[in-house]
Structure 1
Amino acid sequence: MPTKKDLRITYLEKRLNLPATAAATANAAILQHCMDLDYSSMRYVHLFLPIDAKKEVDTRPLAQWLREAHPQVNLVLSSTDMQTSQMLHYLWDAHTVLTTHRYGMTEPAGGTLVAPSSIDLVFVPLLAFDLRGHRAGYGKGMYDRFLQQCRPDVLTVGLSQFDPVPAIDDAGPWDVRLKMAITPQAIYDFKS
């Protein structure tokens, strides 16, 4: 079975080699599945903005759709301290100033802080995931630390252009499992 390190290498390469038309088709299908989720009781939804150079799932159309279809939802973005691997979470509204730092991450330059315990749904970037909801990211553990600060009932939804692997061999007890994952082909539910 693959380790997270193996999956990082394999799936980053797969993503980088995905033709632009295939990536656009995958992103559109993922957005359609995201639109099927129930947002009626959601007040705070955490998004990530894609690192375009790494061809992450493009969440910008999802943000636009959420603003139009669910005006009760407040969008939240994080800024990351790469030295400490800590994240701060900010309301993303019309006044938010976004900056792109040297790692290619577009993040808020500041604004109104939002406590992780207020967040109802977190869309999680990932490179790969397995059939139990374990995921492989870039290996810094930032999202694991962030998700541990959220309420136990927070809905965590990973977004991936690729289907799951059967199992990630070295998933540990410190890894926070996803409750759902969305690919172009399907919505996976790990809550049960």
Structure 2
Amino acid sequence: MTTKKDIRKHFLEQRLNLDESAAARLNAALLEQVLRIDFSPYRYAHVFLPILEKKEADTWPVIDALKVRYPQLNWVLSRSDMQAGTMEHLLWTPATTLAQNKFGITEPQNGEAVDLSLIDVVFVPMLAFDTSGHRVGYGKGMYDRFLKQCRPDVQTIGLSLFEPIAAIPETDAFDVPLRIVVTPEKIYHFNNED
């Protein structure tokens, strides 16, 4: 695995090859780890909804559990314009209508735009990460651009079904390393201060 493209392909295949029971076990363990984090200081949490066909980390149980444990949290979802490479961020309320786009991503169809300065914590999707907190996503760079627009102190939490690799090659100034990555086995903390 010498390039990001190789890493992306390898981990997507590894995830797709998980059988249902293995995926369920990993997601249950991932939830247990997430619940070890204290979300009481936060008011606005940005979260992705999983592309279940790609066996992404299942955020639905995470959201359900955190809504019960931390009722003060306001939840924010994004809607992407893949052609423009931009994301719009909307408050998720009982009035929000969700629908899948053509890429299988469940997104809000309506809602109030959220000022990015309000966002305290962002759950970040990924295919792989390394021991420095760098991640490999799907290659569009949309989350990196989004994270650069957030406050410098925003808490970034990557969710990965797999443990880290030693190093991701080809990282550059456009890549935003994560502060925390949660796996089914443990919570990794990275000192990635700007």
TM-score above 0.5 = yes
Question: Cα distance, 1:68 vs. partner?
Answer: 0.9
1:149 aligned to 2:149? yes
Q: Which amino acid aligns with 2:128?
A: A
In 2, Cα distance between equivalents of 1:115 and 1:23: 35
Say if 1:2 and 1:167, in contact at 8 Å, map to a contact too: no
1:86 aligned to 2:118? no
Say if 1:147 and 1:176, in contact at 8 Å, map to a contact too: yes
What is the TM-score normalised by the length of structure 1?
0.98
Q: Which amino acid aligns with 1:112?
A: E
Question: Cα distance, 1:191 vs. partner?
Answer: 2.3
State the partner residue of 1:50: 50
- Percent of aligned pairs with the same amino acid: 54
Question: Cα distance, 1:2 vs. partner?
Answer: 3.0
Q: Which runs of structure 2 are paired with 1:1-192 in the superposition (5 Å)?
A: 2-191=2-191
Say if 1:51 and 1:106, in contact at 8 Å, map to a contact too: yes
Question: Cα distance, 1:117 vs. partner?
Answer: 1.6
Could you say what the CA RMSD is over the residues aligned between the two structures, in angstroms? 1.0
Q: Any gaps of 5 or more consecutive residues in structure 2?
A: none
In 2, Cα distance between equivalents of 1:190 and 1:4: 20
Q: Which amino acid aligns with 1:43?
A: R
Q: Which amino acid aligns with 1:126?
A: M
In 2, Cα distance between equivalents of 1:51 and 1:63: 15
Say if 1:49 and 1:105, in contact at 8 Å, map to a contact too: yes
- Deviation digits for residues 76-124 of structure 1 (CA, Å, limit 9, x no counterpart): 1100001111001111111110010110000000201112221101000
Question: Cα distance, 1:38 vs. partner?
Answer: 1.2
In 2, Cα distance between equivalents of 1:93 and 1:27: 25
In 2, Cα distance between equivalents of 1:46 and 1:31: 17
Aligned length: 192
SS across alignment from 1:167: coil
Q: Any gaps of 5 or more consecutive residues in structure 1?
A: none
Q: Which amino acid aligns with 1:19?
A: D
In 2, Cα distance between equivalents of 1:191 and 1:77: 26
